[in-house]
Amino acid sequence: MADQRVVVVGGGLAGMAAAVALESAHGPVTLIEARKTLGGRAGSFEDPQTAEVLDNCQHVLLGCCTNLLDFYARIGVADRIHWENTIRFVDPRGKTHGLRGGRRLPAPLHLLLGGATFGALSLRQRWQLARAMAAMLRLGRGGRAKLAETAFGQWLADHGQSEDLIERFYEIVLVSALNEQCRRASAGYAIQVLQESLLFHASGYRFGTPACPLGRLYEKIPCRDVRLGTRMTGLRFSGQRAIGVELDDEFLEAQAVVLATHYQALDKWIPPELAAADGRFAGLSQLESVPILGAHLWFDRPVLSMPHAALMGGPLQWLFRKDSEGRVVHGVISAARDWAGRPKDQCLDVLVNQIRSTFAAAREAKLDRGVIVIEKRATFSPLPGVDRLRPAQAPPPGGIANLFLAGDYTRTGWPATMEGAVRSGYLAAEAITGRKFLAADLPLQWPARVLATAKSE
Ligand SMILES: Cc1cc2nc3c(=O)[nH]c(=O)nc-3n(C[C@H](O)[C@H](O)[C@H](O)COP(=O)(O)OP(=O)(O)OC[C@H]3O[C@@H](n4cnc5c(N)ncnc54)[C@H](O)[C@@H]3O)c2cc1C
């Protein structure tokens, strides 16, 4: 059956999703991953000092991530996600303002009470926000697609959103979902995040964090031939077809290859003449990579009593409690361009000072240990027009006929997220098999449906 084999290169979420879908519906699949563990950017590593398993960075998912949840169900770990219905905003003086979503009312009514009493914003700001949300709702999914080339900053200005509201709400909610300053991002993607998580379905608002290290989620994926610590060293072609994958000491013949590595390396594998004939590779060099900083912090006493905090004064944007006491916490800065070159000790000083000045319990706390992880090329930036640069998973006519792409950077209709990565893997598997794997989006609940224009839906 070697001639039927599909080789999936890269064991991040995109590669795993492709492999698991193919395994369920196709012939033999081999998934190869250069590292010793699965997960890629949404994975874990062993701390060389303590052998503790740490996540590359805290990852958050939302109830609207229907394909990621489908994938978790397929690999049997859906029950390992811890869900919350309140996002806790904390201002620089330590005051907490919960934005609660009611589960009993349909969207957008589920956020009416929570939004109306959301003390982090003034009455004037709440009113401005409500008007913008109504406008986003009216756009529906069709209307937001037309905003793919518009900067969200422009849209916010056109809809009378003040600078202080942008800083106190939009930036906090969107910078982590988009890994880009919200004003720079495409209005299409910014509005997508807000529509799908806040406005269309009450379940979209659920805020999930894995209850174990990320790497543990992938320990038993239903794919029989997973080869860890196995690096692709080359791709072999015959004419317009890939005939297999070269490893250090083996050649894996393949009927089709799914490349689920990051986009920065693709030109290493594809000969220029084949790439030139395949439009998928034309825009990749114009994608802009944006860093994310993750800080693992161990204090000598509990510093954070709540499970998470969305911090309204930077530089840390989010802080997560990582143990039951709140002594171990994890902080995140997305769109961390200013942090990429800084010495780690300097980063630690600034972040610890922020935590001490925000949380009363942390005033006298001493940092026992800190590990800073800066992913310089964390994700691509969802700037206006970015979809013109993102490749489809399937080859175009005249392209490399049996080479499929998967990865958060491919054209999924989602920003670079775990959800986007899983969608890309499913789309690659759909292109290979002709079977359907993509899970449907959450439907618009009736009040949202009534408020959205019929035309745009
Ligand atoms: C710091 C950080 C925080 C994030 N936070 C969130 C979040 O909170 N929520 C969210 O939804 N998303 C988040 N993301 C985004 C999310 O992690 C990514 O979108 C997603 O994991 C990308 O998956 P992928 O499979 O496309 O790519 P990757 O995870 O990069 O997978 C590519 C894989 O290919 C392997 N590979 C490369 N070359 C070879 C080779 N030659 N041979 C074999 N294997 C190879 C790599 O080792 C890697 O495992 C975050 C990302 C980062 C970096």
Which residues form ligand 1's pocket by a CB distance below 6 Å? Answer: 9-15, 32-35, 40-42, 56-57, 59-61, 231-232, 260-262, 265, 292, 294, 375, 378-379, 407-408, 416-421
Select from 355, 380, 405 the last residue of a domain.
380
pLDDT grade for 384, boundaries at 50, 70 and 90: very high
User: Which residue has better confidence, 457 or 170?
Assistant: 170
CA 456–ligand 1 middle distance (angstroms): 33
CA 408–ligand 1 middle distance (angstroms): 8
pLDDT digits (tens, 9 = 90+) for 387-444: 999 999 999 999 999 999 999 999 999 999 999 999 999 999 999 999 999 999 999 9
Are residues 125 and 264 both part of a single domain?
Answer: no
Return the pLDDT at 3: 59
Which of helix, strand or coil describes residue 195?
helix
pLDDT digits (tens, 9 = 90+) for 76-95: 999 999 999 999 999 999 99
Mutate to test the pocket of ligand 1, among 31, 173, 252, 261 (most ligand atoms within 8 A of CB): 261
Ligand 1 atom nearest the C-alpha of 416 is 19
For residue 150, tell me if it sits in a domain.
yes
Give the up-direction half-sphere exposure of residue 80: CA atoms within 13 A in the CB hemisphere.
Answer: 18
CA 318–ligand 1 middle distance (angstroms): 20
Select from 344, 362, 380 the last residue of a domain.
380
Map tokens 């035309």 to a residue.
455
Please name the residue whose Cα sits nearest to atom 27 of ligand 1: 12
Task: Residue 228: give the domain boundaries.
Answer: 2-53+214-286+383-433
Return the pLDDT at 453: 67
Q: Which of 432, 379, 384, 383 is nearest to 405 (CA)?
A: 432
Are residues 258 and 301 both part of a single domain?
Answer: no
The dihedral sign for the CA sequence 84, 87, 91, 97: negative
pLDDT grade for 37, boundaries at 50, 70 and 90: very high
Q: Tell me the C-alpha distance between 293 and 334, whole Å.
A: 6
pLDDT digits (tens, 9 = 90+) for 94-125: 999 999 998 789 999 999 989 999 999 999 99
Q: What's the mean pLDDT when you consider all of the chain?
A: 96
Q: Tell me the C-alpha distance between 211 and 60, whole Å.
A: 11
pTM of the complete model: 0.97
For residue 175, tell me if it sits in a domain.
yes
Query: CATH number, domain at 391?
Result: 3.50.50.60
Return the pLDDT at 64: 98
Structure tokens at 382: 């969802």
Query: CATH number, domain at 331?
Result: 3.30.70
- List the beta bridge partners of residue 367: 299
CA 117–ligand 1 middle distance (angstroms): 38
pLDDT grade for 1, boundaries at 50, 70 and 90: very low
SS3 content of the chain, % helix, strand, coil (to 5): 35, 25, 40
> How many domains are contained in the chain?
3
Return the pLDDT at 2: 46
Work out the angle between the directed axes of helices 418-433 and 13-25 (0-180°, nearest 10): 30
**Do you find a cis peptide bond into 443, omega within 30 degrees of 0?**
no
CA 78–ligand 1 middle distance (angstroms): 20
Average pLDDT, stretch 290-313? 97
Return the pLDDT at 218: 98
Are residues 129 and 164 both part of a single domain?
Answer: yes
The torsion angles phi and psi of 235, rounded to 5 degrees, stand at -115, 140
Q: Is the pLDDT of residue 454 over 60?
A: no
Are residues 349 and 367 both part of a single domain?
Answer: yes
Ligand 1 atom nearest the C-alpha of 13 is 25
DSSP string, 41-99: GG-EEE-TTT--EEESS---EETT-HHHHHHHHHTT-GGGEEEESEEEEE-TT--EEEE
b/e map 321-355, b = 16+ CB within 10 Å = bbeeebbbbbbbbbbbeebeeeeeeebbeebbebb
Are residues 183 and 115 both part of a single domain?
Answer: yes
Q: 76 in the Ramachandran plot: left (φ > 0), alpha (ψ -120 to 50) or beta?
A: left
Are residues 295 and 370 both part of a single domain?
Answer: yes
Which of helix, strand or coil describes residue 141?
helix
Q: Which of 94, 114, 87 is nearest to 102 (CA)?
A: 114
Are residues 268 and 401 both part of a single domain?
Answer: yes
Average pLDDT, stretch 6-33? 96
Are residues 271 and 387 both part of a single domain?
Answer: yes
Average pLDDT, stretch 334-353? 96
Angle value at C-alpha 310, between 309 and 316, nearest 5 degrees: 100
Average pLDDT, stretch 186-194? 98
Are residues 101 and 184 both part of a single domain?
Answer: yes
pLDDT grade for 456, boundaries at 50, 70 and 90: very low
pLDDT digits (tens, 9 = 90+) for 262-300: 999 899 999 999 999 999 999 999 999 999 999 999 999
Return the pLDDT at 4: 82
For residue 70, tell me if it sits in a domain.
no
Are residues 325 and 389 both part of a single domain?
Answer: no
* H or E segment to which residue 284 belongs: none
Structure tokens at 364: 């006298």
